[in-house]
Every structure is written in C-alpha cells, then in structure tokens.
Amino acid sequence: MKKNARWTLLLPPLVIALIVLFQLLAEQPRTMLRNAVFDQFQRWQPRTYTETPVRIIDIDETSLTRLGQWPWPRNRLAELVDRLTAANVAAIGFDVMFAEADRTSPAHMADLWQLDSALRQQILALPDHDQHFADRLRKADAVVGFALERGETSGQKRPAGKASFVNLGEAQNRWLHAFTGAITSLPVLESVAKGNGALSFVPDSDGVIRRIPLLFQMPDGPVPTLVSETLRVAQGVPVVMLRSAGHLQHLTGEKDNAGLGEIRIGDFTIPTTPQGELWIHYTPPRPERSLPAWQVFSDEAALAGLAGHIVLVGSSAQGLMDLRFSPFGLMPGVQAHAQALEQILSGHFLERPSWAIGSEFTALVVGSLIVGFIALHTGALAAAAACIALVAVTAGGSWLAFTHSRLLIDPSLPAIGILLTFLICSLTHHFMAEREQRWIKGAFARYVSPNRVAHLIEHNDDMALGGKRQQCSFIFTDLASFTSLMEGIDPAAAVALLNDYLDEMIAIAFRHEGTLDRIVGDAVAIMFSAPVPQPDHCARALACALEMDAFASAYSRKLIAQGIPFGATRIGVHAGEVIVGNFGGKTMFDYRALGDPVNTAARLESANKHLGTQICISEAILAEAPTSNVRPVGKIIFKGKTRPLAIFEALGQGELDGRAPLDAYLPAYQSLENDPANAGSLFADLHARYPDDRLVAMHHARLQDGQTGDLIVLSNK
C-alpha cells in the first residue's frame, strides 16, 4: 500500500472530476434525479393546509350530471358569474377556454334548424349567449384565459393585454418560457374581462408539474398567467413589478443577468426561479378547497362563505381531460393554480437559492476527499461508517433546509460522489491489501470449500484445536453398485466417469454455499452453516439435495443409454446441533463436525436402499421447509437407537417417475395408523396400480408380512 500511496491519492479528485463532468454534460438525468429527491421531500412533508381565501368552483361529475354535459351554455355561465359576484368574491378566474362561440346561441340554432324567415327573425331577436356572458363579465372582477403555442404553425396572435409590467433592474424577458402564438378567448369576452391570463403549464420532462410560471414571453413582450392575473385583479392593481435576480444582488456588483428574482403584485412579493416560476409545495387533496359548481346555483349558505375569496372555475371531471401529474399523482390542473395562490396568500414559498449549486459542489468535494482518504488508509468497516455518516449529514442537511427553511438543496450529487469515491477507493485498498492472500485461495480452493477457505483466511484463530456448538445441516450421498461398475469396465474409464460425477456434485454443493466435509470413494458429505452460520441452512441443504438428485438421475440415464450400468445415487439429509472445529490434532488441520446428527444423516442415506427411496430427509429438515414436495415414509428406529425418527421422501418438482401421486399415496399412508384393518387393501391396490413405486412396494411387503402401523425398525446400518 505504501509503494502505491502516491497514485492512489489521485483517486478522490478523479471521482470528483467525473461527477462534475456528469453535472455539466448530463443535464436531463441530473435534473430528473434532483426532481425525484424534491418530490420525495414533498411526500414526506407536504404543505400543511391552512384556511386561505381561495376556492375552486369545481365542474365535477355530479355537476355535469345535474346541469348537463360540458360545454354549458354561456347564459348558464353568465348566471354563475352573477351569483359569484353577488357573493362578493374578490375575483373569478376561469381555468377553461372560451375560444369558440356558444353553439346553443339563438343564431347558431336558427342556422342548425334551417328555419323559415319569420320564425328565424323571432329567434334571432333573442339575446345572444356570448354577448349575455360578456355583459356579466363586464360587471365582474373576472379573468378569462388563453392557451399558448410554439412553432411556425402557431400563428402570431397575441392575447388582449390587461396588465402593465415594470422592470426593476435589467429586463429579464429572455429567461422566461417563450411562445410564439396563442389560442385566445372570444374577442367579445377578452375585451370586457378585467384580466386575461395564460392557462398553459410547462411540466418537467417526466410530465410532473413542480413549478407554476407567473409570466410567459411572447414576441412583443411578457404575458401573465392565470395565477398572477387573478391575484392582480383581486387587488385591483394595474401593474406587475418584475425584479431581476441581479438587481437583488446589486450590492455585490454583479450584472443583472441572472434571470428573475421576484415578482411583486400589489401587496404580495413572490420569490421566483430565474424563469419567473413559483415552486409549488403541494398539500394532499382537501375537500374544503372546492365547491361543486352545482351548489353555486342552489346552495345560498355555501355562496355566503365565498365572500372575499379568489375563486377559480375549473374541472375535475375526467372526461374533460384537464388532469396533470404532481408528486402525489394525477390531479386536476385547476388544483395546481389554486395551490399556487394559497402559497402566495399565506406567504409559504419554496426556494432554490442561488447559492444552492455552490453548496452542493462544496459538499461533494469535501465529502469525497474525506471518505477517499479514510477508505485508502483504514479498513472497510471504518470507511463504510464514514461514508454512511457523510451521506447522512448531506441528506440530513438538505432535509432540515427543506423542513425548517423551505429551501431546496439537492443532496443527490454529493451523495453519489461520496458513494462512488468510497467504492472505488475501498476496492483499490481491498485489492492491494488482499493481494498477498490470493495465492492461498488459489492453492486450496481446488480441494477445500471456497466458503471454508475464505472463513479461515478471515478467522485464522479457527485453526486452533477445539470446537464450538452450532446448528448445522448435513447431506450424505452414496453411489449404488459402483464396485460392480469397476469390475465390469476398464478401471481408468470408471474413474473418469466417477470424477465427472463428483465434480458436478461438489459444484452443486458449492453453488448452494455448502461446505465439503469429506469424499470417501464415491460418497460425498456436505455440511451447511459451518464455518459460516446460515440461518436458512435446512432449506439450503434440501435445495442442494434436490439439485444433486436431478443431476445424478440425468447422468445415470445418459450413461445407461450408452450401455454403461451407472448406479443410482442415494441421499440422506438431517440437521441438528453438533460440535464444529479443528479436530486434527497438533500436527494437522481437520475442520469438521462431530455429533449424532452427522451419523443420523449417514444412516438416512443408507436407509434409502431398505425403504425404496432416493432422498430421505428428517423431520428437522422439513420443519424449516414446510412447503416442500415430500411424502411421509414412516417413523424409523435405526440400529442401536431407541427413539424413532419421522422421515420423509423428497420428491422435487419434476416427474414422479412411476411413483404414486400424493393424493393417492397419502390416504393409504394415513390408514397405517388411523385404519390398520384397511391399510393392507389400500396398499395392495396402490401397488397394483404403481408397481414401480418402491416405497409403496416396501409398505405393501411389510403389511403382507404382518407388520402394522408406520413404525419401522431397521436392523442393519
């Protein structure tokens, strides 16, 4: 490590340079990551709803059912304006478009019906709905809307201007979101309304509305949005004052080229992004924020509560398609406008200060250098602790800034830099510190289980004599008739076949992170949960045994098809408490397990040939893997034992290979205890239907021999 210390010190600055390059070049991924963090902050701490004089007149599904489908006749909207004006609302903002003439007006209906001249004249004498609506707008403090367009096909139409703009400092119009044309409301309505605001949103690339523009730029100057225009009309002020961010910083001597800093409308000063946007701090949906439109026409008590309020007329009905994405999911677009007005009236603002990028970069540099130095000069645990602590400080600082000061500081960039520095420097340190140990693993991993080698390298005290108690699982396998195979073919060929067989059996054990205990001829012993404890050792052992059985069966079938009589593999699986450690004496190392469970697993393997099974597992294994596909064999008393052990045959998930299905076998087995008189006939029938099922044949033979119940005494080991 000392020889390479000089060049390793370059690693943290290199990581920092890569992160900064990412910040400069990958703008969209960086913005998406930052937005995801800010969205999560809002989900964890949404804005607390407080009573503010803002209400939505909601054209909801119930209103459409009661008052008819949209669009409503303009004379109905005129009545809506009359009733809201009579309720002394501060302003009415329409979050709906009136770009086309009312098709229910008398003139349109006369053309549609193709009436004769006399009746046509009578209908034309009736009041025009659009004009009637315009007459009511003229008497109200109302704001109509328009939609903005971009591109060569958008035209150059400009909405009617109602507000004047005054710049404090250099004009920052080039920072605003620019559009080239507009779809406006009818001139008869635009001309009489006291306000005219844009209804357009500028969502982020993922479609989420996180900021509400208060101004847009058109070829001949700025235009207000529904939020800013409704706020202006509610106060009865003609002017919107625009203060540049540079003007706010005039004491520092900087030029006025940093975009907008704040917008003042009457009594309200609104901090904005350089693009003239207000960050929205959402609240969850609140029923008291909205009043269904149908109640305006029928509920005088509800109307009385609107005095002095700014009301926005919009729709939550899904069929009208005014739905937008927020950090909380879909919402009506009018909700975003209403929540922006609530924030302005209550003075609740989220801000991303101009110094945010500098503070994030400082945290990136300082945090990465600290964790890089620690990772290169200490162990992995200390470096990981430092990494976690620095990331926690960065994230915690951002969270505190959000919750206590409503500031948006992005912790993701410094956190990524700290984590990457930790990973790269820790891996470098690990590679260099562990280089001298690789030859140990390379030399011994061919003969000893990889997990045992790794454990002994990390815990060389385990090489001392002695052991400790530990719960473990064991697999014993044996190859039937291998001695006969050795006698029937060339011994060299038999050994080659055995080596291929053992290589794959051991590889399967290693895949399940088992420890090779020993190989005796064609038999293999595997243990689990030693030397490294494994809470799921029973399930691992069973899964390993099933995979071994699948391989051994396929290998045997392949060789038999070639005329080589390769025998079946018998497997026993058991678990229990044993003593694990080095029992090799002072002159050699022999790490193994000692105890009765080891002997029992070997007995289970041997019992297969007497029981007609291939995989015998104990109740201790099944208790930790209760969903396994097994069938009960019986309660076995091994030679030299006095207590019976319940054992089961593991079937795996494949073909039954001539075995009786469980729904046929289980009733017969249960009859051994529950209905002994009928057990013989049941197993006789089962044996006749499934003559290749050796377990069924074993029970059938026992019953014919006069034995009863499911207790089986094995006289041989």
Q: Span 384-402, mean pLDDT? A: 93
Question: Who's near 71: CB < 8 A, 6+ residues apart?
Answer: 102
Closest CA to 79 of 55, 57, 53: 57
| Residue 678 maps to a domain | no
CB atoms within 10 A of CB 482: 18
Q: CA 60, 64, 65 angle in degrees (round to 5)?
A: 115
Asked if residue 423 and residue 474 are part of one domain, the reply reads no
- pLDDT(254) > 50: no
Task: Tell me how far CA of residue 127 lies from CA of 104, 105, 124, 218, 377, in angstroms.
Answer: 11, 8, 8, 36, 87
| Lowest pLDDT segment from 17-26, 250-259, 612-621 | 250-259
Note the pLDDT of residue 251.
38
pLDDT in tens, 671-698: 998 999 899 999 999 999 999 999 999 9
| Residue 683 maps to a domain | no
Query: What does the DSSP 8-state code read for residue 179?
Result: -
- pLDDT(320) > 70: yes
Asked if residue 387 and residue 504 are part of one domain, the reply reads no
Q: Is 276 left (phi over 0), alpha (psi -120 to 50) or beta?
A: left
Q: Are 26 and 310 in contact (CB under 8 A)?
A: no
Written as six digits, the tokens of 454 are 């790794």
Q: Are 39 and 206 in contact (CB under 8 A)?
A: no
Return the half-sphere exposure (C-beta side, CA atoms, 13 A cut-off) of residue 705: 9
Q: Which residue would you say has higher pLDDT here, 646 or 318?
A: 646
Note the pLDDT of residue 399.
95
pLDDT in tens, 53-63: 999 999 999 99
Can you tell me whether residue 323 is helix, strand or coil? strand
Asked if residue 183 and residue 296 are part of one domain, the reply reads yes
Task: Show the domain range for 364.
Answer: 5-45+354-433
Note the pLDDT of residue 621.
95
- pLDDT(149) > 80: yes
pLDDT in tens, 25-53: 567 778 888 899 999 999 999 999 999 99
pLDDT in tens, 402-436: 999 999 999 988 888 888 888 877 777 677 666 54
Return the half-sphere exposure (C-beta side, CA atoms, 13 A cut-off) of residue 636: 27
Q: How far apart are CA 67 and CA 65, in angstroms?
A: 6
CB atoms within 10 A of CB 518: 12
Q: Span 563-587, mean pLDDT? A: 86
Note the pLDDT of residue 592.
82
pLDDT in tens, 81-136: 999 999 999 999 999 999 888 887 776 665 656 566 666 666 665 678 889 999 99
Q: Point out the domain boundary residue: 380, 404, 433.
A: 433
| Lowest pLDDT segment from 101-115, 176-190, 261-275 | 101-115
Note the pLDDT of residue 669.
95
Write the CATH number for 541: 3.30.70.1230
| Residue 402 maps to a domain | yes
DSSP codes joined into one string, 333-360? HHHHHHHHHHHHHHT--BB--TTHHHHH
| Lowest pLDDT segment from 41-50, 248-257, 632-641 | 248-257
Task: Tell me how far CA of residue 396 lies from CA of 368, 491, 656, in angstroms.
Answer: 17, 70, 58
| Residue 311 maps to a domain | yes
Q: Span 461-465, mean pLDDT? A: 51
- pLDDT exceeding 90 applies to what percent of the chain? 55
Q: Point out the domain boundary residue: 370, 401, 433.
A: 433
Q: Span 229-246, mean pLDDT? A: 92
Note the pLDDT of residue 515.
87
Q: Which residue would you say has higher pLDDT here, 517 or 486?
A: 517
Q: Are 638 and 603 in contact (CB under 8 A)?
A: yes
Given the structure tokens 């809002």, which residue do they identify?
A: 42
Q: How far apart are CA 594 and CA 579, in angstroms?
A: 5
pLDDT band at 589, cuts 50/70/90? low
Given the structure tokens 């003593």, which residue do they identify?
A: 579
| Residue 703 maps to a domain | no
Note the pLDDT of residue 447.
41
Note the pLDDT of residue 58.
94
Asked if residue 11 and residue 132 are part of one domain, the reply reads no
Total structural domains within the chain: 3
One-letter amino acid of 96 = V
Asked if residue 71 and residue 36 are part of one domain, the reply reads no
| Residue 707 maps to a domain | no
Beta bridge partners of 305: none
| Residue 312 maps to a domain | yes
Task: Tell me how far CA of residue 551 lies from CA of 28, 493, 512, 710, in angstroms.
Answer: 50, 20, 14, 31
Q: Point out the domain boundary residue: 285, 318, 346.
A: 346
Q: Give the phi and the psi of residue 246 in degrees, each rounded to 5.
A: -65, -35
Q: Span 182-208, mean pLDDT? A: 92
Note the pLDDT of residue 451.
62
Question: Who's near 82: CB < 8 A, 6+ residues apart?
Answer: 136
- Angle at which helices 694-704 and 662-674 pack, to 10 degrees? 20
Asked if residue 16 and residue 63 are part of one domain, the reply reads no
Q: What is the pTM for the complete model shown? A: 0.59
Q: Span 291-309, mean pLDDT? A: 91
Asked if residue 393 and residue 342 are part of one domain, the reply reads no
Asked if residue 359 and residue 302 are part of one domain, the reply reads no
Asked if residue 370 and residue 329 are part of one domain, the reply reads no
Asked if residue 287 and residue 235 are part of one domain, the reply reads yes
Note the pLDDT of residue 118.
64
CB atoms within 10 A of CB 60: 22
| Residue 340 maps to a domain | yes
Asked if residue 239 and residue 133 are part of one domain, the reply reads yes
Asked if residue 62 and residue 167 are part of one domain, the reply reads yes
Q: Count the helices and strands in the chain (H runs, E runs).
A: 27, 26
DSSP codes joined into one string, 698-711? HHHHHHHTT--SSE
Return the half-sphere exposure (C-beta side, CA atoms, 13 A cut-off) of residue 327: 23
Note the pLDDT of residue 422.
83
